[in-house]
């Protein structure tokens, strides 16, 4: 269910909930700012506007930590209708901070740029 990186560590946290509500009601709760604000305050978001949205199906927001190192993440909500009129809500939360992109290792005793010598 989780995507794995080269080291075998999970890159995203995936949660799935079965809700006893219609998909339209769940969609309003995650996409309309006045309703979303009650359980996901804009203070936890980088921007109150979604970064992507497929109306009625999926919406993504950028979130930020309130404590150092103040990392940013992306949370995606997916709404899927069930045959009995209820809803499956899938939440995918993963780190998306540019500071986590791995840089090539540098020698501990050398602060100069890497140079190659011709033979």
pLDDT classification of 6: cutoffs 50, 70, 90:
very low
Domain presence at residue 42: yes
Residues of the chain above pLDDT 90, percent: 53
Domain count of the chain? 1
CATH of the domain at 94: 3.30.530.20
pTM above 0.85, yes or no: no
Domain presence at residue 103: no
Residues 20-40 have pLDDT tens digits of 999 999 999 999 999 999 988
- Dihedral, 7, 9, 11, 17 alpha carbons, nearest 10: 150
CA distance 17 to 23: 12
11-15, 19-23, 67-71, 103-107: segment of lowest average pLDDT: 103-107
Containing structural domain, residue 93: 22-98
């Amino acid at each position: 269910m989780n995507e794995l990186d080269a080291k075998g560590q999970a890159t995203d946290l995936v949660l799935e909930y079965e809700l006893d509500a219609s998909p339209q009601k769940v969609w309003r709760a995650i996409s309309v700012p006045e309703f979303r604000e009650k359980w996901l305050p804009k203070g936890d978001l980088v921007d109150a506007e979604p970064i992507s949205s497929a109306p009625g199906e999926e919406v993504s927001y950028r979130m930020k930590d309130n404590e150092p190192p103040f990392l940013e993440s992306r949370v995606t909500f997916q709404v899927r209708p069930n045959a009995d009129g209820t809803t499956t809500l899938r939440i995918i939360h993963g780190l998306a901070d540019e500071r986590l992109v791995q840089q090539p290792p540098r020698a501990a005793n050398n602060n100069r740029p890497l140079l190659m010598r011709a033979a």
